């Protein structure tokens, strides 16, 4: 059954009844935005509830029982088996459950379910520790999902997964009772207050212990990774009912309880690594060496079949000779493996053992070369992680990339790989690829599949049936190793585990959730074809986003994700709209269009940070720019052209307005001025609204700081933002003076603009005209590219370094020859020539989006570290929400994006921040309530001569 059924159901649902949660999203666009996770299913929730605390979870459970509405929890929504979608209430815990608290010097960590795994590791890094579970989605997956899916990855194996590293859990049962296994006497209280459930858990344990076949099967199966069905090993490993239940929640996929908080033991994060990529003539040669690698304690061993190597052959950084090997070896296989150690000596011990015990047995095509170069290592892992996206990127338009996750006995891995390849050929999945965690016998395979009708679903169904048969009956493997059962493998749990085991699972579910309201049809389902229901098609929408696999990797950095939509949701809604139109639901599509104007278009900062984490490099900001451009009326275009033409006058007026504002703020105060400018902006959309930060660094006096044009070595071109809002010009010139750098600010720059301000609003024609004008002026002022040009707004620097596609060839060539530097690069270049006195207080820095995109983070940090020993980055790699000037129009965007900045600064005892874009400094001052200045201010302060 395709997605349309859930759409029909959506129309008939009433959202008028009161919902059991203060923050409830019930609008059409909000429900559709949350209808997809990273898996192949689509279900539109009746409402999205965003509880803030345990009381609200209890209220949700009570209302769900009362009204018999199913409840599904959603953390990062990166699941691949359909376990975080629902047509009941979707409870989004990614919004308010983000606490992370390292304890005992990082040996343990307390986390809430909405904490992103990557941020947990970032907080553990200063202690040299990391989480055990290491899914490759850790940058966007959250702890609630990592625990509930019992996720794992390349290094953690079975020993360090969530099941084995969790120390205590706090959880809420569907009856509303709250339990915390860290508390003394809690197990006794559980026995007393949950006597019925406790005795059923004992009975289930007894049933397993007295059934030797089942007992042995459980022991055997959990030697390898397995996430099919419930974690039955809990019934064998633990005796007390509370311990059993709390471990059943790991891998329980939100079908038993809500996990409110957990404490996990952490692992050392070894700094020393040696990595190698070896090639083999076939699967047997590659797999034959895996046991030896395990014996010499290799920390990660990744397998790549010929098709996966093919998929990355054209990516940057591919090792030399891959193409030749692909040509010469039809069954080529690769093994990427890594040794890790706490110090150099320990690493060389490991490598010696490899050389003496393992290398002689290795039938690789050439001798193994290790690299300890961090950049090369990162590149090799990037290639490995790029396999799923690489296939996703070459799939046909509208096709889904389906990622499966199976385990085979290690000793039969080579044979299993060949059998899977035969299955691909039989079912005509010509671009199916196989890769995975060879050490664990865990293979992932990706196929691309159209889902445009019954014929496609039948093809997929036949393939899945045969794949299940192959894994279970021929190899006695596991149907899911890491990704959870979901609805994808629910019909096959019995095939793998047998009737008795599944009856134990059913009894467990009935005892904990008698009405079956927690994530129904996930893990267990009475419907034999549930894996084929609600499969989503991927309609073709706009070219720039059609490759999206809905994985969610782009969400954490997006400044608008807590305010309106994330990048993934912006794309998901375009696809929802296309489906509505195809289904003749024109009124619904129109409604969605109306909502998208603000939620999708107006509140995107178009900073493009989403592209940094996207495995297929999608910049959702480009989609938004395109949509904005398409919706411009001819009158708006004419006005934009005229503003571009008279930009110098507009700039002069704005400068005066701001100067007046700075003076007015002195008399009226910031609050009154903010209200006043908000009112003007209501009448004149686009009019910059006043922010407390504007008056801090406003300094119109830069003109008195000009240097000599003839002898200057550097041309400094203050951007229009600086010219209007001040903040950077004076300190930059002062620092340049102290470093004896001869710098010149040309006169006649009023009205010059790189074009970005127009392009971001979708006015491409005036943007192009402004860029052309800028290039002409700069070509002359820089002596035809002889003198470097310094800019002071990162986004303008990046926009110019990239250049507009439609710029004419002559100017394009000139632009390439111009040596354009951002102020942060200039500041770094000045460091050796300056006498710097470090300040003793902690300082905050924010690396603007363009720094992150063009790799200038390091320069920013170098300057900050030169000025203070205590540098914090309170914004956690996100955009501040200003997006050039978007934040002026929509202040809510910067307040939402910067909500954590003030508290994080507070926690670090930090009272001031620095960044390298004036507009971002204004935005961060507004959202944090603390002063933010240009990075040049910091450098100027630290290089002042003693009075
Ligand atoms: C590109 C890509 C690569 C991946 N690589 C890996 C990998 O290497 N290893 C791996 O194991 N997985 C991998 N996955 C799958 C997925 O990312 C992980 O399983 C991840 O841990 C899911 O986390 P999440 O926060 O997205 O959870 P969600 O998808 O939001 O939820 C997962 C499950 O947990 C439940 N849940 C969430 N929070 C709670 C809570 N507080 N209480 C109770 N139940 C809750 C949900 O109802 C759902 O059933 C990958 C996915 C993608 C898209
Ligand atoms: S461009 Fe920025 S605001 Fe827009 S979707 Fe991407 S990350 Fe979010
Ligand atoms: S835009 Fe990229 S990162 Fe975001 S969901 Fe789509 S594929 Fe994933």
Residue keyed to tokens 């605390």: 53
Name the CA radius of gyration of the chain, rounded. Answer: 29
Q: Are residues 784 and 822 in the same domain?
A: yes
Residue 686 pLDDT: 45
Q: What distance, in Å, lies between the first and last C-alpha atoms of the chain? A: 78
Q: Which of 210-219, 749-758, 785-794 holds the top average pLDDT?
A: 210-219
Report the separation in Å between the CA atom of 511 and the middle of ligand 1, taken as the mean of its atom positions.
25
- Ligand 1: residues with CB < 6 A are 37-38, 72-80, 83-84, 93, 113, 135-137, 141-142, 144-146, 148-149, 151-153, 253-254, 258-259, 388, 482-484, 519, 551
Residue 450 lies in a domain: yes
Q: What is the pLDDT of residues 660-670, one digit of tens each?
A: 555 455 444 55
The residue whose CA is least distant from atom 8 of ligand 3 is 551
Q: Are residues 782 and 883 in the same domain?
A: no
Residue 449 pLDDT: 87
CB 835 within 8 A of CB 943: yes
Segment 80-89 shows an average pLDDT of: 97
Picking from 433, 466, 483, the residue at the C-terminal end of a domain is 483
The residue whose CA is least distant from atom 13 of ligand 1 is 135
Residue 516 lies in a domain: no
> How would you classify the pairing of strands 100-103 and 108-112?
antiparallel
Structural domain count, the chain: 4
With a cut of 70, say whether residue 10 has pLDDT above it.
Answer: no
Retrieve residue 91's tokens: 């409870």
Say what the alpha-carbon torsion angle 279, 282, 284, 285 is, to the nearest 10 degrees: -40
- Distance in angstroms (rounded) separating the CA atoms of residues 538 and 778: 46
Report the separation in Å between the CA atom of 149 and the middle of ligand 1, taken as the mean of its atom positions.
6
Residue 616 pLDDT: 85
Query: 458 vs 246, 463, 471, 744, 815, CA distance in Å?
Result: 39, 9, 20, 70, 54
Residue 57 lies in a domain: no
Query: 264 vs 136, 143, 151, 603, CA distance in Å?
Result: 19, 10, 14, 37
| Nearest ligand atom owner, CA of 552 | 3
Residue 106 pLDDT: 97
946: confidence class by pLDDT, cuts 50, 70, 90:
low
709: confidence class by pLDDT, cuts 50, 70, 90:
low
The residue whose CA is least distant from atom 3 of ligand 3 is 614
Among the atoms of ligand 1, which is closest to the Cα of residue 522? 49
832 CB neighbour count, 10 Å cutoff: 8
Report the separation in Å between the CA atom of 393 and the middle of ligand 3, taken as the mean of its atom positions.
11
Residue 613 lies in a domain: yes
Q: Are residues 619 and 658 in the same domain?
A: no
With a cut of 90, say whether residue 294 has pLDDT above it.
Answer: yes
- Ligand 2: residues with CB < 6 A are 557-560, 567, 570, 604-610, 620-621, 624, 879
Phi, psi dihedral angles at 276 (to 5 degrees): -140, 150
* Percent of the chain residues topping a pLDDT of 90: 68
Q: Are residues 601 and 680 in the same domain?
A: no
Beta partners for 2?
A: 535
- Distance in angstroms (rounded) separating the CA atoms of residues 84 and 290: 35
With a cut of 50, say whether residue 225 has pLDDT above it.
Answer: yes
The residue whose CA is least distant from atom 4 of ligand 1 is 137
56 versus 933: the higher-pLDDT residue is 56
CB 342 within 8 A of CB 271: yes
546 versus 392: the higher-pLDDT residue is 546
The residue whose CA is least distant from atom 31 of ligand 1 is 145
By mean pLDDT, which of 12-21, 70-79, 197-206 is the weakest? 12-21
Residue 477 lies in a domain: yes
Q: Are residues 460 and 594 in the same domain?
A: no
Segment 271-298 shows an average pLDDT of: 94
Picking from 827, 851, 871, the residue at the C-terminal end of a domain is 827
The SS3 of residue 602 is helix
Report the separation in Å between the CA atom of 42 and the middle of ligand 3, taken as the mean of its atom positions.
16
Q: Are residues 849 and 821 in the same domain?
A: no
Q: Are residues 408 and 467 in the same domain?
A: yes
Q: Which of 149-153, 366-370, 451-455 holds the top average pLDDT?
A: 149-153
Residue 684 pLDDT: 38
Q: Are residues 844 and 812 in the same domain?
A: no
587 CB neighbour count, 10 Å cutoff: 10
Report the separation in Å between the CA atom of 151 and the middle of ligand 3, taken as the mean of its atom positions.
20
- Distance in angstroms (rounded) separating the CA atoms of residues 146 and 116: 9
Among the atoms of ligand 1, which is closest to the Cα of residue 148? 34
Q: Which of 164-168, 357-361, 537-541, 843-847 holds the top average pLDDT?
A: 164-168
The residue whose CA is least distant from atom 7 of ligand 2 is 558
Residue 108 lies in a domain: no
With a cut of 80, say whether residue 5 has pLDDT above it.
Answer: no
Report the separation in Å between the CA atom of 609 and the middle of ligand 2, taken as the mean of its atom positions.
6
Q: Which of 139, 569, 624, 798 to mutate to test the pocket of ligand 2 (most atoms within 8 A of CB)?
A: 624
675 CB neighbour count, 10 Å cutoff: 12
**H or E stretch covering 839:** none
**H or E stretch covering 120:** helix 117-124
Segment 499-509 shows an average pLDDT of: 98
Q: For residue 326, give the CATH number of its domain.
A: 3.40.462.10
Domain that holds residue 620: 553-628
Q: For residue 890, give the CATH number of its domain.
A: 3.40.50
Q: Are residues 308 and 416 in the same domain?
A: yes
853: confidence class by pLDDT, cuts 50, 70, 90:
confident
Residue 694 pLDDT: 46
Beta partners for 846?
A: 915
* Percent of the chain residues topping a pLDDT of 70: 91
Mean residue pLDDT across the chain: 89
With a cut of 70, say whether residue 405 has pLDDT above it.
Answer: yes
By mean pLDDT, which of 130-134, 472-476, 792-796, 892-896 is the weakest? 792-796
379 versus 388: the higher-pLDDT residue is 379
Residue 538 pLDDT: 86
Report the separation in Å between the CA atom of 795 and the middle of ligand 2, taken as the mean of its atom positions.
14
The residue whose CA is least distant from atom 50 of ligand 1 is 137
Phi, psi dihedral angles at 574 (to 5 degrees): -65, -40
Residue 113 pLDDT: 97
Among the atoms of ligand 3, which is closest to the Cα of residue 550? 5
Give one DSSP letter per residue of 136-191, joined into a string: TTTTT-BHHHHHHTT---TTTTTTTSHHHHEEEEEEE-TTS-EEETTSTTHHHHHH
Picking from 810, 827, 844, the residue at the C-terminal end of a domain is 827
Residue keyed to tokens 């979608």: 85
> How would you classify the pairing of strands 300-304 and 333-341?
antiparallel
> How would you classify the pairing of strands 442-449 and 400-407?
antiparallel
Among the atoms of ligand 3, which is closest to the Cα of residue 617? 2
Segment 610-618 shows an average pLDDT of: 89
1: confidence class by pLDDT, cuts 50, 70, 90:
very low
Q: What is the pLDDT of residues 322-379, one digit of tens each?
A: 889 999 999 999 999 999 999 999 999 999 999 999 999 999 998 899 999 998 998 8
CB 156 within 8 A of CB 132: yes
Q: Are residues 799 and 873 in the same domain?
A: no
Burial class of residue 243 (count of CB atoms within 10 Å of its CB; 0-12, 13-18, 19+): middle
The residue whose CA is least distant from atom 6 of ligand 3 is 548
Segment 170-187 shows an average pLDDT of: 97
Residue keyed to tokens 């402004």: 770
Q: Are residues 890 and 818 in the same domain?
A: no
With a cut of 70, say whether residue 125 has pLDDT above it.
Answer: yes
Residue 857 pLDDT: 84
925 versus 616: the higher-pLDDT residue is 925
Residue 635 pLDDT: 75
Segment 593-620 shows an average pLDDT of: 93
Segment 219-238 shows an average pLDDT of: 96
Among the atoms of ligand 2, which is closest to the Cα of residue 611? 6
The SS3 of residue 661 is helix
With a cut of 50, say whether residue 619 has pLDDT above it.
Answer: yes
User: For the chain, what percentages of helix, strand and coil (3-state, to nearest 5) are there?
Assistant: 50, 15, 40
Segment 925-938 shows an average pLDDT of: 92
Q: Are residues 301 and 443 in the same domain?
A: yes
Residue 661 pLDDT: 55
Residue 650 pLDDT: 62
The residue whose CA is least distant from atom 5 of ligand 3 is 550
Phi, psi dihedral angles at 337 (to 5 degrees): -135, 160
Residue 14 lies in a domain: no
Residue 375 lies in a domain: yes
By mean pLDDT, which of 285-299, 394-408, 595-609 is the weakest? 394-408
């Amino acid at each position: 059954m395709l997605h349309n059924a859930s759409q029909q159901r959506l129309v008939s649902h009433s959202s008028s009844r009161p919902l059991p949660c203060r923050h409830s999203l019930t609008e059409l666009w909000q429900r559709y935005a949350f209808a997809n996770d990273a898996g192949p299913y689509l279900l539109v929730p009746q409402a999205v509830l965003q509880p803030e605390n345990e009381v609200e979870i209890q209220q949700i459970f009570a209302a769900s029982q009362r009204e018999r509405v199913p409840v599904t929890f959603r953390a990062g929504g990166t699941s691949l088996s359909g376990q975080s979608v629902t047509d009941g209430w979707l409870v989004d815990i990614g919004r308010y459950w983000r606490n992370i608290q390292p304890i005992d010097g990082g040996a343990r960590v307390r986390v809430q379910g909405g904490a992103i795994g990557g941020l947990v590791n970032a907080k553990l890094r200063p202690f040299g520790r990391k989480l055990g579970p290491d899914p490759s989605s850790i940058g966007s997956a959250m702890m609630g999902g990592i625990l509930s899916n019992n996720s794992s990855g390349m290094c953690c194996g079975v020993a360090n997964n969530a099941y084995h590293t969790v120390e205590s859990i706090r959880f809420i049962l569907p009856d509303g009772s709250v339990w915390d296994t860290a508390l003394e006497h809690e197990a006794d209280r559980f026995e007393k207050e949950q006597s019925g459930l406790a005795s059923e858990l004992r009975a289930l344990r007894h049933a397993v212990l007295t059934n030797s076949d089942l007992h042995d099967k459980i022991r055997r199966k959990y030697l390898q990774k397995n996430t099919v069905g419930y974690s039955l090993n809990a019934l064998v490993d633990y005796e007390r009912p509370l311990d059993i239940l709390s471990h059943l929640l790991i891998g329980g996929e939100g079908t038993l309880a809500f996990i409110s908080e957990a404490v996990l033991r952490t692992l050392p994060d070894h700094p020393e690594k040696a990595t190698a990529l070896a090639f083999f003539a076939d699967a047997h040669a590659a797999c034959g060496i895996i046991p030896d690698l395990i014996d010499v304690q290799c920390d990660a061993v990744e397998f790549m079949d010929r098709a996966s190597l093919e998929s990355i052959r054209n990516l940057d950084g591919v090792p030399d000779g891959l193409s030749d090997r692909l040509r010469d070896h039809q069954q080529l296989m690769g093994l990427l493996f890594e040794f890790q150690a706490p110090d150099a000596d320990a690493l060389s011990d490991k490598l010696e053992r490899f050389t003496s015990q393992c290398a002689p047995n290795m039938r690789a095509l050439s001798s193994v070369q290790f690299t300890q170069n961090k950049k090369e290592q990162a590149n090799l892992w990037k290639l490995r992680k790029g396999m799923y996206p690489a296939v996703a990127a070459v799939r046909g338009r509208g096709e889904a990339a389906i990622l499966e996750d199976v385990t085979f006995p290690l000793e039969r891995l080579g044979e299993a790989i060949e059998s899977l390849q035969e299955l691909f050929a039989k079912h005509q999945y010509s671009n199916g690829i196989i890769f995975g965690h060879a050490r664990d016998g865990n293979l992932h395979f990706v196929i691309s599949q159209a889902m445009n009708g019954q014929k496609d679903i039948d093809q997929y169904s036949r393939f899945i049936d045969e794949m299940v048969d192959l894994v279970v009956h021929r190899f006695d493997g596991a149907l899911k190793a890491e990704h959870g059962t979901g609805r994808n493998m629910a019909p096959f749990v019995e095939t793998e585990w047998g009737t008795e085991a599944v009856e134990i699972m059913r009894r467990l579910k009935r005892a904990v959730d008698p009405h079956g309201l927690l994530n129904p049809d996930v893990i267990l389902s009475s419907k034999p074809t549930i894996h084929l229901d609600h499969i989503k098609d991927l309609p073709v929408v706009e070219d720039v986003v059609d490759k999206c696999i809905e994985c969610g990797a782009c969400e954490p950095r997006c400044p608008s994700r807590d305010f309106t939509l994330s990048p993934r949701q912006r794309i998901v809604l375009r696809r929802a709209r296309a489906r509505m139109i195809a289904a003749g639901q024109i009124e619904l599509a129109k409604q969605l269009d109306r909502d998208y104007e603000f939620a999708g278009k107006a509140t995107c900062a178009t900073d493009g940070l989403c592209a940094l984490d996207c495995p297929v490099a999608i910049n959702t900001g480009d989609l938004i720019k395109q949509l904005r451009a398409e919706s411009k009326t001819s009158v708006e275009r004419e006005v934009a052209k005229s503003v571009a033409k008279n930009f110098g006058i507009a700039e002069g007026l704005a400068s005066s307005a701001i100067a007046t504002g700075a003076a007015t703020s002195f008399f009226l105060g910031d609050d009154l001025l903010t209200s006043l400018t908000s009112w003007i902006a209501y009448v004149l959309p686009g009019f910059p609204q006043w922010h407390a930060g504007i008056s801090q660094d406003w300094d119109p006096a830069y003109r008195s700081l000009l240097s000599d044009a003839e002898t200057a070595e550097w041309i400094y071109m203050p951007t229009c933002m600086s010219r209007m809002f001040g903040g950077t010009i004076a300190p930059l010139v002062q620092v340049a003076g102290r470093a004896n750098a001869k710098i010149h600010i040309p006169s006649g720059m009023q009205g010059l603009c790189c074009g970005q301000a127009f392009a971001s609003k979708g006015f491409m024609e005036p943007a192009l005209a402004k860029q052309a004008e800028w290039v002409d002026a700069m070509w002359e002022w820089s002596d035809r590219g002889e003198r470097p040009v310094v800019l002071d707004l990162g986004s303008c620097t990046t926009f110019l370094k990239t250049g507009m596609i439609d710029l004419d060839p002559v100017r394009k060539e000139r632009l390439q020859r111009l040596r354009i530097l951002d102020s942060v690069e200039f500041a770094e270049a000045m460091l050796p020539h300056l006498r710097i006195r470090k300040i003793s207080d902690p300082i905050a820095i924010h690396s603007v989006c363009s720094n992150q995109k063009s790799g200038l983070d390091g320069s920013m940090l170098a300057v900050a570290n030169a000025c203070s020993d205590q540098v914090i980055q309170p914004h956690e790699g996100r955009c501040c929400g200003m997006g050039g000037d978007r934040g002026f129009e929509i202040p809510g965007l910067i307040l939402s994006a910067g909500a954590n900045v003030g508290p994080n600064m507070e926690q670090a005892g930090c009272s001031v921040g620095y960044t390298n874009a004036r507009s971002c400094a204004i935005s961060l001052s507004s959202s944090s309530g603390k002063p933010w200045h240009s990075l040049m201010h910091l450098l100027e302060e630290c290089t002042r001569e003693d009075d």
